[in-house]
Chains A and B, each alone.
Chain A
Amino acid sequence: MDNKVEDSTQEDVKGIAGPEVVSRARWKYLDNFLTRPGPFTDPEAFDPGEAAIAGLERNKILVIGAGGLGCEILKNLALSGFKDIHVIDMDTIDVSNLNRQFLFRAADVGSYKAEVAAKFVEKRVKGVKITPYCGKIQDKDEDYYMQFGMIVCGLDSIEARRWINATLVGMVDETNPDSMKPLIDGGTEGFKGQARVVLPSMTSCIECQLDMHAPRAAVPLCTLATIPRQPQHCIEWAHIIAWEEHRKDDTLDTDDPEHITWLYQRALSRAKEFNIEGVTYSMTQGVVKNIIPAIASTNAIVAASCCNEAFKIATNTNPFLGYPEKDNYMMYTGDDSVYTYTFEHQKKDDCPVCGSGNIARPLTINPNTTLQDFIDGLAERPEAQLKNPAIRTGEKSLWMQLASLQEQLRPNLDKKMTELVEEGEELTITDKSFPTQFKYKVVFSK
């Protein structure tokens, strides 16, 4: 790991004559750090003065997500002295974004987030170039990601995080230090959040940390169908079962008020039937869209923490999170006083993305489950979280995602796992969402 600026000069920035000095006037505060060493700066890595400034300005940085975190990240990076920023987001602006995504106004509703955000920050902070891309991260290839010095993520989807993580780990070429792109990732929920730094292939990656972000357990289908107890069960019933039954041909659009209203009314009458209280329109929306509460304050904390690390990595003005064998993960909890927990998440040898070899992770399977049960469970298992798996053993395919091949494999679904695999056998699972093979070793629970 070498963040040292290469073409360092010995000149102090104050010593340069001409227009350069004038143009640094607005960076007076930042320059106190770029031109002065501190008690914790590493003299090997930090070369105060022009070299530090040039290194920062040359660092091309990619921001993934222009939502609650992304807006903050773009503002923070621009005011940290980064000059060449790119941003990717596929979404358009919704009215419910306005309580925290401060680069957007009511008139922007419906426009692309990346475009509006880039334009706004460029206008406000003179001299920064922000290049938006309104689309998916999966549209871009390794050549595209290779151009950046660093990537900062403000995403709300685990899937997108895993994809970029696997892509960046896959890009690492040990003979080329430039191929290792630090990944800084933030996430929030209500008053809580986290910021973490990954040095792909060197430190614990997003996949190593997957079980820290376990998905909420889904309610079993039989509960929804026969014995609902909670208002949420009635809403899920309307969402999964009633819609299929009555409006099969309409694609459910969770942003369409008519669709939400329909689900709400179905849920309400089902709740009445079972004497269940508490179904509301707002709850219906929350369950169906899987809404996570979000506020400006928490986004500010997490985004700024990410950008603080990005700035330290780019400049070496102070030690940063993610340095091998040092802390790389900060958890923030603000609902009961303020509590931060900053620690080193250890790299996992059997990580399917960054693990040292092809070590298969042990996967405990209840011997009585069928292949269908096993597939359903994969989406929820904290260590797997795979929604569209294709599964094969050393010899044969158990399940594929291609419809044309599924016909032949369908009988497998009802077979018990014990009929299909043996204790200790290796399973290779792939999922089109990730450029990774997941290897597991079967362990039957007793």
Chain B
Amino acid sequence: MADLPPPVQGPTAKEKKYDRQLRLWGANGQIALENAHILLLNSGPGVVGIETLKNLVLPGIGNFTIQDSSIVSDADLGVNFFLEEEHLGGYRAELACNLLKELNPDVDGHFITEPIETWLLNPDALRPYTLILATAPLRPEILARLSDHASAASVPLFHIHSVGFYSHFSVHLPPAYPIVDTHPDLETTQDLRLLQPWPELVHFAQEKTANIDSMAPEDHGHIPYIALLVHFLEEWKKSHAGKVPENYKEKTEFRTMVSKAARTNNPEGGEENFDEAVAAVLKSLNPPQPSSAVKEVFKTKECLLVREDSPSFWVIANAIGLFYTKYNVLPVPGSVPDMKARSADYIQLQNVYKSKARKDLAEVVESVRFLERNANRTTVIDEKDIEAFCKNAAHIKLVRGRPFLVVLPSEKIKWGDRAKTIAQSLTFPDSLIPLYIAFLAWDKFTATHEKDGLGGAPHVPGTSDPDTDATKLTGIAFTIADDLVKEAGASIDKDEYAAIKTQIGEFANELVRAGGAELHNIGALTGGMVSQEVIKVITEQYVPVDNTCVFDGIRSKSMVINV
């Protein structure tokens, strides 16, 4: 106790301020946020966009820019928190920008008050931004232009609706959007390789279970459960032709075998380490096969053909694919759950896993270096990145981003390869696809109705004549649904389809009731959802929505649809 380590440098001011979020996305995630410049194209009442930005300014994105040509009106003051009474008549973009900047002195905010139609005439207008948020209503040709830019520049683009009690957002991600750091739930996903132990693990188990029957009670009660399971698996194999327990029935029998080996003639009436072993049987005794989604990654063209300019993800994926082809398993992740054990035994076990993980990593690194030389790559991939990939190889995720649907005034919606699945899930109980269809109809309505008939601001349903608009919107929505069913070649039972149409009609009517109004609560809620997604996309951590999400604030339910 006498020789305490030297005085520590406490956390920096920034670490203190961001403490609660750094525990989620770490320093790397924070750097990614600080390098982001987010553009908000704000339309309509403009709440959902500003609320989204609020949740991004607070955790410290680098820059944001608001494009909005509207002037602050009375109605803004009743719904937007980032405007004040003395702002009436001023530019909404400028004033909201200033109040947002107050939230975090580390963030730079900018604004553009020029109308979007003319501002976008500059071909470089969108160039500075790393992510774009666009809120409805937007004219379809503008949305199409944004979508083209998102495809060409690989910039993530969000399209957001917040209309009364309902909301929707779609995200257009680059065609290959891979994530290594998906933050899987460790308790349910640990890969311990108990069915395919390597020699050092077998040796460890033998050492800890030698003379297990005559062991002193203290020792017997502290055998790490991993050693117990490896030991009893060997016992099991002796009476089962060398095979491990394969199905549920066998695993249950195996579990009983382990359970019976626990000593009960002690004051506690059992042993904790045996309890842990019993509890681990069903979840840990699975062959260490990667999921089909991970195997799919190894087969993609980007992975198979590593180029000079391939993102490092593909180089590492290729190397791990080679490892998998060779051994039929992924590299050992190397972490061990806590368990009842003596300190030294546990550390020894940890080291057995860590050395195996290091050995596997070394092999992957060697393949990566070979690939780098072969493809004439000039930059060397950091070994830390390779290590992170190996640790989480079983949980990597590849999202295939694609453009979302842009509703054009005079064209039918094309659902393409998604038509069948979406038409099928139309009939699922609690499906919110009818709500999504109502939103598409809402876009179609605004695309075909202009306020002044001169190509000016879009006219949203329900502002002045709700009854007429409700009939129109319902009609448009029915047509979209009919076209979807037709394109999918689906056959839906007549009564079932009538019930779906009733739902679509109700959603359309409720959208018309809003008359283009945002409710602050739904704007704030949707702003929260979108900002979570933006953070996931920017930090390349966790798993983003692929690619459309609708929220029903009447029943408080959401649905994610792959469109």
A residues lining the B interface (CB < 8 Å): 25-30, 32-33, 36-40, 72, 75-76, 79-81, 95-96, 98-100, 102, 105-106, 124-126, 190-191, 195, 227-230, 257, 260-261, 264-266, 268-269, 274-276, 281-282, 285-286, 291-305, 307-309, 311-312, 318-319, 321, 327, 330, 334-340, 342, 366, 368
Contacts and interface: CB of A to CB of B under 8 A. Distances in A.
B334 to A, nearest CB: 13
A229 B343 contact: yes
Contacts of B533: 334, 338
A340 B3 CA distance: 52
B103 interface: yes
Contact of A33 (B342, B519, B556): B519
Contact of B532 (A191, A282, A303): A191
Contact of B18 (A80, A99, A106, A297): A99
Contacts of B74: 25-26, 28
B529 A230 contact: no
A295 B520 CA distance: 20
Nearest to A72: B524
A265 B8 contact: yes
B10 A257 contact: yes
Interface string B1-43: 1011101101101011111111110000000000000000000
Interface stretch (B50-58, B301-309, B378-386): B50-58
Nearest to A309: B556
A303 B78 contact: no
Given A79-B520, A335-B543, 14 more contacts: A29-B75, A33-B513, A95-B13, A265-B4, A282-B19, A291-B20, A300-B55, A301-B529, A302-B528, A304-B524, A305-B525, A319-B555, A321-B556, A334-B542
B456 to A, nearest CB: 20
17 contacts: A27-B78, A33-B514, A36-B515, A39-B509, A76-B520, A96-B17, A96-B20, A106-B105, A227-B341, A266-B1, A274-B347, A296-B55, A301-B525, A301-B528, A305-B556, A334-B542, A340-B551
B542 A281 contact: no
B101 to A, nearest CB: 12
Interface string B396-429: 0000000000000000000000000000000000
A33 B557 contact: no
B58 A336 contact: no
B352 interface: no
Interface string B545-563: 1100101011111101000
B155 interface: no
Interface stretch (B79-87, B138-146, B195-203): B79-87
B259 to A, nearest CB: 14
B518 interface: yes
A229 B338 contact: yes
Contacts of A335: 183, 542-543
B556 A102 contact: no
B77 interface: yes
Nearest to A317: B165
Nearest to B505: A39
A75 B8 CA distance: 40
Given A40-B506, A227-B341, A265-B5, A95 B16 contact: yes
Interface of B: 1, 3-5, 7-8, 10-11, 13, 15-24, 45, 51, 54-55, 58-60, 74-81, 84-85, 102-105, 164-165, 182-183, 222, 267-269, 338-339, 341-344, 346-347, 462, 466, 505-506, 509-510, 513-515, 517-522, 524-525, 527-529, 531-533, 535, 542-546, 549, 551, 553-558, 560
A426 to B, nearest CB: 25
A336 B20 contact: no
Contact of B513 (A38, A124, A286): A38
Contact of B23 (A37, A102, A286, A298): A286
A304 B531 CA distance: 14
A229 B336 CA distance: 11
B58 A100 contact: yes
Contacts of A292: 20
Contacts of B20: 96, 99-100, 291-295
Contacts of A29: 45, 75, 78-79, 517-519
Counting from the closest, the 8 A-B pairs by CB-CB distance are A300-B528, A29-B517, A304-B525, A301-B528, A26-B78, A25-B74, A79-B520, A304-B524
B531 A300 contact: yes
A335 B509 CA distance: 33
Nearest to A197: B556
B84 A124 contact: yes
Contacts of A227: 222, 341-343, 346
Contacts of B466: 36
A76 B556 contact: no
A337 B524 contact: no
Contacts of B517: 28-30, 32-33
B24 A190 contact: yes
B7 A261 contact: yes
Contacts of A337: 543-546, 560
A281 B347 contact: no
Q: Which of B3, B55, B557 has the most CB of A within 10 A?
A: B55
Given A32-B164, A227-B343, A304-B524, A296 B58 contact: yes
Contact of A276 (B10, B78, B81, B343): B343
A195 B462 CA distance: 31
Contacts of A297: 55, 528-529, 531-532, 535
B556 to A, nearest CB: 5
A266 to B, nearest CB: 8
A402 B387 CA distance: 56
B341 A229 contact: yes
A298 B528 contact: yes
A440 B463 CA distance: 59
Contact of B269 (A30, A330, A368): A368
A336 B536 CA distance: 10
A168 B560 CA distance: 37
Contacts of A79: 78-81, 520
A318 B521 CA distance: 14
Contacts of B532: 191, 295, 297-298, 301, 334, 338
Contacts of A307: 521, 524
Contacts of A125: 81
Contact of A300 (B76, B515, B527, B554): B527
Given A301-B529, A336-B182, A291 B5 contact: no
A147 B243 CA distance: 70
Contact of B521 (A126, A229, A299, A308): A308
A14 B555 CA distance: 29
Contact of B531 (A124, A260, A268, A296): A296
A282 B15 contact: yes
A195 B80 CA distance: 23
B437 to A, nearest CB: 15
A335 B78 CA distance: 33
A33 B90 CA distance: 27
Given A30-B519, A99-B58, A296-B531, A75 B81 contact: yes
A274 B514 contact: no
Contact of B267 (A229, A286, A291, A368): A368
B347 to A, nearest CB: 5
Contacts of A27: 78
A338 B545 CA distance: 6
B10 A191 contact: no
Contacts of B15: 282
Contacts of A261: 7-8, 10
Task: From A25, A229, A308, A309, name the one whose CB has the most chain B CB atoms within 10 angstroms.
Answer: A229
B510 A304 contact: no
